[in-house]
Amino acid sequence: MSRTVEQIPLGVSIGEESFSDLDYAEDVTLLLEMLEALMVGLLVFQDEAAPFSLQVKWTKTKIQHVGEPRLTQSMVQVAAENVDLVDEFIYLGSLISHDGGSEAEILRRIRIARECFSLLEKNIWRSHILTYTKVHLYRTYILPVLLYSCETWTVSETLAKRLDAFDTWCLQKILRIPYTRHTTNDTVRNITGCLLVSEKVRSFRLRFFGHLARSAPENYHRVIAAALRPPDWRRPPGHPRSNWLRMIDEDVRPQNFEVHTAWRKAKERDTWHQVVSTATLC
């Protein structure tokens, strides 16, 4: 990978930082600002991988343009192979959208979790197992499917309501409460002892923020987080699009501080644990 970076001017800028590639196991993501340069970079990458008996799997290779305007092409040719240009694709189990948002992934997670829940309906949810055991099974087998990688989500108020509505529907099914009974959501949660899923998402997001703040300064994820909002950052006029750090801002605002103060507090594990507990109860 380093040889490819030396030959091709790879990289995208985030703040004052530049990032050329993201690597995980056998998966590699090349970051460039021009499609033509990316195609050349893929050719160079293939040539550099060949001496190690490694090959690029072109059928699994995807090119995605992030942001606007969206690409009008659906396919390009690289090394006489067709490579798809996509608006979204699944990477490491999560759906990556061209707009950088989380809505498509959250709705996808709800669909997958609903399918998993339905598979257990006859043998588990409708059985005579104790309610406590059913709720424990739900927390163990269904919620992890629903909340996979939720610490990275940007959740709007509408999406939070969708998540909570699905969670409540599942709990009502477990308790075998028909919709005609008009049982309140608070009653369902008092019986099961389950927090709102949106509160769980907030807790996971804040805990992940704490890991970012305490990680080594040279780690990519920490450098990217710091570059997204430098110390001299000021909120732009108008109503800007929500992003992950703005979600952190909203999470800690009831405690009368903002994301830069949160970054300092998160470096102390015990202090940040208190912040997370308070934010979840707010």
68 lies in a domain? yes
Same domain (yes/no): 137, 189: yes
Residues in a beta bridge with 84? 62, 75
β-bridge pairing 17-19 and 21-24: unpaired
Q: Which pLDDT score is estimated for 75?
A: 87
Q: Which pLDDT score is estimated for 233?
A: 52
pLDDT of residue 27 exceeding 80, the answer is yes
* Higher pLDDT among residues 226 and 280, named by residue: 280
Q: Which pLDDT score is estimated for 66?
A: 83
pLDDT of residue 259 exceeding 80, the answer is yes
> Residues 226, 212: contact at Cβ < 8 Å?
no
Domain of 82 in residue numbering reads as 8-43+50-95
Same domain (yes/no): 184, 210: no
Q: In 64-156, which residue ranges form alpha helices assigned H by DSSP?
A: 103-119, 131-137, 143-146
2 lies in a domain? no
Cis peptide before 230 (omega within 30 of 0): no
Residue 153 CB contacts under 8 Å (≥ 6 apart), including other chains: 102, 105, 106, 201, 205, 244
Same domain (yes/no): 213, 162: no
| 30 token code pair | 């090349």
CA distance 147 to 116: 13
23 lies in a domain? yes
* Higher pLDDT among residues 274 and 24, named by residue: 274
- Given the structure tokens 């991988």, which residue do they identify? 49
Same domain (yes/no): 186, 107: yes
Same domain (yes/no): 116, 184: yes
How many domains in the chain? 3
83 lies in a domain? yes
Exposure of 197 in the CB half-sphere (CA atoms within 13 A): 31
236 lies in a domain? no
- pLDDT tens column, 152-192: 999 999 999 999 999 999 999 999 998 788 889 999 999 99
Same domain (yes/no): 87, 119: no
Q: Which pLDDT score is estimated for 69?
A: 72
Q: Which pLDDT score is estimated for 113?
A: 97
pTM metric for this prediction: 0.86
CA distance 231 to 65: 29
Same domain (yes/no): 172, 135: yes
- pLDDT tens column, 68-100: 777 778 888 888 889 988 889 888 899 999 888
CA distance 114 to 126: 16
Question: Would you list the DSSP string of 231-274?
Answer: TT--PPSS-PPP-HHHHHHHHHGGGT--HHHHHHHHTSHHHHHH
pLDDT of residue 230 exceeding 80, the answer is no
Q: What is the mean pLDDT of residues 227-234?
A: 59
Cα-based distances in Å from 205 to 235, 271, 279 = 21, 16, 11
Cα-based distances in Å from 231 to 15, 58, 236, 258, 260 = 11, 41, 14, 12, 7
pLDDT of residue 67 exceeding 60, the answer is yes
Q: In 120-196, which residue ranges form alpha helices assigned H by DSSP?
A: 131-137, 143-146, 157-175, 185-192
Q: What is the mean pLDDT of residues 206-215?
A: 92
- pLDDT tens column, 116-144: 999 999 999 999 999 999 999 999 999 99
Rounded to 10 degrees, the C-alpha dihedral 44/49/55/57 comes to -50
pLDDT of residue 257 exceeding 70, the answer is yes
